[in-house]
Every structure is written in structure tokens, then in C-alpha cells.
Chain A
Amino acid sequence: MCCARLVLLACVWGICCAAPASAQQVTPDEELPALIDRLQGRLVKIFGAGAGNVQAYSSGVLVSDDGTIVTAQGVYLDGARTVVVLADGTVHTATVMRRDRVLQLAVLKIEAETPHWFDLEADAVARQGDWVIAMSNAFRVADKQEPVSAWLGIVSLPTSIDARLNSRDVAYSGALVLVDSITSNPGAAGGALVSLDGKLVGVIGKIIESSETNTRLNYAVPTDLVRDFVAGKTELAAEDASGNAGTQLPGETGIRLFELGGKSGPAYIDSVVAGSAAEAAGFLPDDLIISVNGEKTGNLRTCATELARLVAGQEAVIVVKRGRELVRLPVTPRATGKRREAGGDQ
């Protein structure tokens, strides 16, 4: 599928002549070109191994004065040699220092002095509606010493990815910044999302689709997560994401769903087991399950998943549509005697 969308705002030419990152102050009277000009030195172009139709290039941001680079994790880092091109056109061989499967980021190191870099300690404020500049080498438009491209857009929503994506979309959990610039293009991942005061809002993420909309998400991984990753603190977060479900007993409600409508069919109750928790709670055949513990159950598949998550002895609230009424039914599932496998509720 060819669905490349390229939004070029401005491609600014010239050699960056900025002072080191931490010394920068943006004045309100400053114009956008001066800011973009100053940021160019902190962006790099990365070239590596190609694999099938996966692109062999990406973008990266410098985060120290001694050549530390954050970029997107990808197979292009698996080749014999990964090459980094700085804004001044100099070419360096990079070593992959660390990768993170959850954040989909990687840290590279080059042996060079890099006077222009983003200070990860400087927290950028990115509120909804704030303008942000996205900078990357999307589509490998910039050649050799040419500066990367810049886009202007606004923050659509600073949010948490769990709210939008199910597990099949991407191995990523945590906060993200949605933008209305089109960043979901080949080679853009690893680029910078920068606030108008010149601070790094986040690192542009890899191309992913939201299961909510089946459209591509334009987003960046926020700087505080990038900072933790560079400091080696993200493994812990990955463990937390898996949860401690292994110690809990699965609960059984006694609800049997109508399965003949297929997995994408509505979650109608076919029958209620006699003597079950659901019978005691007042569930009836032909009730349409609308939500389980606040999670919308749009079809049979999501409903079965939510019911399987229930824990014995813990009250759950299930909302059903009965005729033209919505009925809220608290139910306390009973133990089935089977122990839940750790992580098996995904």
C-alpha cells in the first residue's frame, strides 16, 4: 500500500551556528526560522541496513556533547555498520548502546564532539493546542550535509497510549504526545518534536496504526520517558506493565454469550448458568452487554476478553442494554479453581 503523506513546511538551508543547547533562551520576538536554524545542529541522519520493504534510514537527536544519540529501534540497526551524518555533513560510525522493545527507542554513540544537543533534563511544557516543530529526515529528503525538514503543527492531545491502542498495535505502553503534523512517514522516527521555546517535547515514534480508528498515529515519545530510557530506567516500567495477575484467581460469572453472531457480533447473553453469580445478580438471556468494569464491550471478542479478566471475589459492574433501558448490574464472580497464567489475560 502506498500511503505516504508528506507535509513539508519549510526546509531551511544553512549551517547551524548555535551555542550549546543548555545556553539557549528563546525570546518571544524571535521568528521561527531563527529557532529552526538553531535546532538543526541537534538533529542527525542515520543510515543502516535495509530489510525487504523496511526503510534503511531514520532520524536521531543528539542528547549529549559527546555523541550520544537517541533514535528509533528498528532492523536498520542490525547491519554490519550504522552510519550517522551530523548537520555539518561529517560522517561517523555509530555503536548501538541500548535498545528498548517497549519504547521502541535505541541509544547510539559516535566518537565525536557534538556541541549542539537537547537537554533531556529541561522539561518542555506541551499543552494541547501548543505549536510544536517536528524535525526529521522523513523520506530521506535531506542528502549528505543538507539539513533535515521541519514541520509546524499543534499538540493534538498529550495522552496515555493505553487509552488508544490494544496490544496488537505496538509493543509500547506509557504516555505519548499526539500531534497534527504528519510524522507517520518512513524515516521520521527518531526525529525531534520541539516546543517553541526550543525544548525537546519528545522523540518522533515509529509508524503505528491505532486500532480505535485504523489510521496512522502521529506522535512522539515524551522526553521524560526518553530521559529514563537513556538513564537505563525503563526495564522496571516494562515489568510493571505486565502486572501481577499471576497471584489472582480467575472469576466465573456464569454468563454464556451468544456466539453464532461471530467474534465481531454484538455481545448478547445466550444463557445464564443456573445457580451462578450472574443469575443471582439478575442477568437475563438477550441482555446486550455494553460494558464490563467501565470497559466498552463493542463486540463478542472484547466482551469475552473483559469477562475473562474478572477476578474471583472482586465485585465487577456490568452494564447491559435490556429493551430500551440501560441496566447496571454489580456481580461478584466466583472462583473456578483454575489458576490464572501470568500475563495470560492479554
Chain B
Amino acid sequence: MRTGIRCCITSCQTGCLLFAMAFLAMTSLAVSAQELVRPDGLAPKISELQAASRVFRAAVERIRPALVTIESFGGVGTRPGEIGGIRQQGEGNTTGVMLTEDGWIITSTFNFVQRPTAITVITSDGERRLARFHGQDNTRKICLLKIQPDPDRAFAVPELADRADVAAGQWAVVCGVGFGDTTPAISAGIISATGRVGGRAIQTDAKISPACYGGPLVNLQGQLSGICVPMNPQSWSVSAGVEWYDSGIGFAVPVAGNEQLIERLKAGEIVNPAFAGVVIGGTGPKGGVLVGEVVEDGPASKLKISAGTVIVSFDGQPVNSASDFRALLGNFYAGDKVPIGFVLPGADQETSGTIELGTLPEMAKTQQMPGL
């Protein structure tokens, strides 16, 4: 079944790019208006659409017991312009999803941009409970909260969609409680793409915004396909991607397949994007990329990599452009140790080494929430 055409123009910083991306992300029904009208049979039937609505409602009903409302108290506030697209974080509650029967909750780091002093969670039974903030993955914009287990019952948890089954073109429904009602607001669309942002996210044209960040993206069975987050492949900043809210470019991070990561976050780990400490200055004379600058005491400098060094491989893969290098680096996290091949200035032979990736200097400054 198809719903027709959605095409989005956002005239923020990214107008043309967005337009092109949104166009590609559509259902590829690039037909003219006349074709949509006539002849018969090319447009959705009213009855087909009505059937889809019933399925959307059923999917939301299945995930609802696992939805939680997150309340934040106090915070440092944000400076104007710090959050792209909106003035600052709103005053409202945010959304999370119960992950385990004993009270682990997954949500988006965006919901704590203001670094609240206290966090409470209202579970689907209406009970308010104190929550503790645990680990966070700053590359996926997800984090974990923990509430005390209920001795009388297990918390309702969602069924996880098999990651391999998620494909562009499938229906997607997102929901969140951010508009302030106890009933979540929903939006429907399709999966636009999978494997976005270094394989971390699913892209959808359902309307994703601060109203649903931390909330679920579900398939028509009501299975959890991902957690809605703001994302922009060009930046790791916690609020990057908010500028695309409600634009038809939205992202969700799968839970299925990230079990190891979730365990690290339960242990309180902060997963940060990888930082190699080099500025790529161009391509090398015989392949590879030329290092233009090296950050003092950074990961690369510890391997004696200097300006003029040519990096030829990373993680065993050949590197032939700055974008190659960025993409390969994007597969790793701060703290990972990765094989790297390079040719020092004036040397004939390639040197092989292992680089221990570091943390972006701006992220090292803003670590975990205070007082939680």
C-alpha cells in the first residue's frame, strides 16, 4: 500500500541538500499531478487508507505499556543558538521506553541537554518513580535511566524488531508524550533508509521532533525498531539534527543488535565518538591521505605521526580520501585501538601501528550529568 508523495523543503541551513535527500527518501512516486488524478487506479483508495489507520492504532497500543514519561527538574539552561532549529529545550516532559522488566529505560540524551538536577519517570501504570541516569552513547544520542524494580510485577517491555527485517519502504510509526498529554502523539511514515550515520540509525519520513525524542519507532506489529533521536551525519553535537525536526528527515537508533553496547551503558560507560587527532590536508602523492596538522598530545601524535605523514590504511582498509578516513573512523569509539598504516615524511617504507582513539576535546569537557 502506498500513501502518496511527501516532499519536504526546509529552508534552514540545508535547503537544497534536504530537498534532494527528502526527494530520494520518498516512496519514489515521482509522478505528475495529472497522473495522480487520472486514470483511476493510480491513487490510494479511501478504504485502503482507513485500513492503514486501524493498523497504526493497533501498533501504538502494543508499544504503549512500555512507554514512559520522563520529568526533569532544574537544569543549567542552554545558551541561545546552542540548540539548532529551536530556541532551547522546551519545558515539557520527554519520552522513554522500558527496556527490561526490572526497570532499565532507554531514551535520548537530547532530553537531558539542560543537565537536570533530578529525573523522575512515570510508568504506564501512572506511578511516578525516581530515576538514576546511567551510561550514554554520544554517537547514537541514547542513554539509560534506571528505576527501582517493582517487587509486585515486571514492567512491560516491547518486543524488538529484528534489525535485518527493517527495510526502506516499510511503514513506520513514531510516538512520544512531549506535547504534554498523557496519551502519546503519533506520526506515521515509511522507513526512508537503514544503516545511516555509520550504520547507527534508521532514517524515516515520519515526523520526529523533541515531542518524540527518546520515544519508539515501531513497525506495524508494534515491535520496537528504534529509539527516536536527533541526528545529523555532519556533527556529533547532542542537539545536531534538531534543525530537521518535523522535516521528513528523522532518525531512530535500533536496540536489537546493540546488546553489548546496552550492557556497557548499564555499567555507566560514556561512549564517545572517536578522535584521531589529525587534520587531513589532502590526498597523498601515491594514494592515501596527507596529514595537514596533528593535534598536540593527541592519539596520532603518540605514534609520531606528524604533518606531511601519509595515512594509507585504517582498520586494514585502504584510505584514499578524507571522506574514506572519516567513514572508517566513524565505525569506532573513543578508547578503541585500531590498526593504522602510514608513511612518515621522507620515509620509503610504510609503518604499521595501533592508534588508541581519543575523545573530541569539546566532548571531554562536557561529561556526565551533575548530581545524578
- Please tell me if A280 contacts chain B, counting CB pairs below 8 Å: no
CA A30 – CA B44 in complex, angstroms? 9
Shortest Cβ distance from B372 into chain A, in angstroms?
A: 11
Q: Are A13 and B90 in contact (CB under 8 A)?
A: no
Q: Is A101 an interface residue (CB 8 A)?
A: no
Which of B33-41, B97-105, B331-339 interfaces with chain A? B33-41
- Which of these binds chain B: A108-116, A212-220, A225-233, A242-250? A212-220
A2, A10, A211: the one contacting B5 at CB < 8 Å is: A10
Does A240 have its Cβ within 8 Å of any Cβ on chain B?
no
Query: Across the interface, do A261 and B74 meet the contact criterion of CB distance under 8 Å?
Result: yes
The answer, among A4, A10, A262, A302, for a CB contact under 8 Å with B4, is A10
- Judge whether B37 and A12 touch: CB under 8 Å: yes
- Chain B residues with CB under 8 Å of A213's CB are 86, 90, 92, 178-179, 209-211
A191 to B116, CA, bound (A): 40
The segment from A51-59, A317-325, A337-345 that touches chain B is A317-325
Chain B: interface size category: 35 or more
Q: A239 at the A/B interface (Cβ < 8 Å)? A: no
- In the complex, the number of residue pairs spanning A and B with C-beta atoms less than 8 Å apart equals 225
Q: Is A35 positioned at the interface, with any CB of B under 8 Å from its CB? A: yes
Residue interface mask B45-61, A partner, CB < 8 A = 1: 11101101110110010
B46 lies within 8 A of A10 (CB): no
Indicate whether A264 sits within 8 Å of B75 (C-beta atoms), given known contacts A33-B43, A180-B187, A218-B246. Answer: yes
User: Would A131 and B49 be within 8 Å (CB), given that A5-B9, A163-B181, A213-B211 are in contact?
Assistant: yes
Distance of A276 Cα from B5 Cα, bound (Å) = 63
Q: How far is the CB of B334 from chain A (nearest CB, A)?
A: 31
Interface string of A204-215 (1 = CB under 8 A from B): 000000111111
B50 touches A131 (CB 8 A): yes
> Quick one: which of A2, A26, A182 contacts B246, CB cutoff 8 A?
A182
B91, A326: Cβ atoms closer than 8 Å: no
Is B118 close to A, CB under 8 A? yes
Assess whether B183 is in contact with A157, with CB atoms less than 8 Å apart: yes
CA distance A182 to B77 in the complex (A): 29
Assembly CA distance A296 to B70 (angstroms): 11
CB distance from B226 to the nearest CB of A (A): 18
In chain B, positions 96-115 with a C-beta closer than 8 Å to chain A are 114
CB <8 Å contact, B36 and A33: yes
Taking a contact as CB atoms closer than 8 A, the residue among A35, A163, A214, A288 that contacts B117 in the complex is A288
With A5-B9, A131-B52, A157-B183 in contact, do A298 and B4 touch (Cβ < 8 Å)?
no
Choose, from A71-79, A81-89, A122-130, the stretch at the interface. Answer: A122-130
Would you call B188 and A215 a contact (CB within 8 A)?
Answer: no
Contact between chains at A264 and B36 (CB < 8 Å): no
CB contacts (< 8 Å) of A33 on chain B: these are 36-38, 43
**CB of A198, distance to nearest CB on chain B (Å):** 9
A196-B33 contact in complex given A28-B45, A299-B75, C-beta closer than 8 Å: no
B206: A residues at CB distance < 8 A: 180
Given contacts A12-B33, A163-B181, whether A3 and B11 have CB atoms under 8 Å apart is yes
With beta carbons under 8 angstroms apart, the residue of B4, B49, B181, B185 that contacts A196 is B49
Contact A216 B246 (CB under 8 A): yes
Bound-state CA distance A213–B85 (Å) is 12
Tell me if A163 and B180 are in contact (CB < 8 A): yes
Interface status of A188 (Cβ within 8 A of chain B)? no
Most buried by A among B74, B88, B178, B189: B74
Residue in A closest to B52 when the chains form the complex, CB atoms? A131
Least distance between A284 CB and chain B CB atoms (Å)? 16
Q: Which residue of B lies closest to A182 (CB)?
A: B246
Out of A129, A212, A217, which one reaches B186, CB within 8 Å?
A129
State in angstroms the CA–CA spacing of A2 and B10 once bound together.
Answer: 9
Tell me how far the C-beta of A129 lies from the nearest C-beta in chain B, rounded to whole angstroms.
4
Q: Does the CB pair A264–B130 fall under 8 Å?
A: no
B117 and A154 within 8 A (CB): no
B75 contacts across to A, CB distance below 8 A: 264-266, 299
Give the shortest distance, in Å, between A320 (CB) and chain B (any CB): 10
Residue of A nearest to B189 (CB): A180
CB proximity of B16 to chain A, nearest CB, Å: 14
Contact with B along A278-306 (1 / 0, CB 8 A): 00000000001011000011110010000
Distance in angstroms from B213 CB to nearest chain A CB is 9
CA distance A310 to B183 in the complex (A): 27
- Tell me if A152 counts as interface (CB < 8 A to partner B): yes
Asked whether, in the complex, the Cβ of B7 is within 8 Å of the Cβ of A7, the reply is yes
Find out whether the CB atom of B60 lies under 8 angstroms from the CB atom of A129.
Answer: yes
5 smallest CB-CB distances across A and B, nearest first, come from A266-B74, A212-B92, A28-B47, A180-B187, A129-B56
**A12-B36, A213-B92, A298-B74 known; 11 other A-B pairs, CB under 8 Å?**
A3-B12, A4-B9, A12-B33, A154-B186, A159-B181, A210-B211, A212-B179, A215-B211, A288-B74, A290-B128, A298-B72
A-B contact pairs, 5 of them (CB 8 A): A2-B12, A28-B46, A129-B54, A154-B53, A214-B89
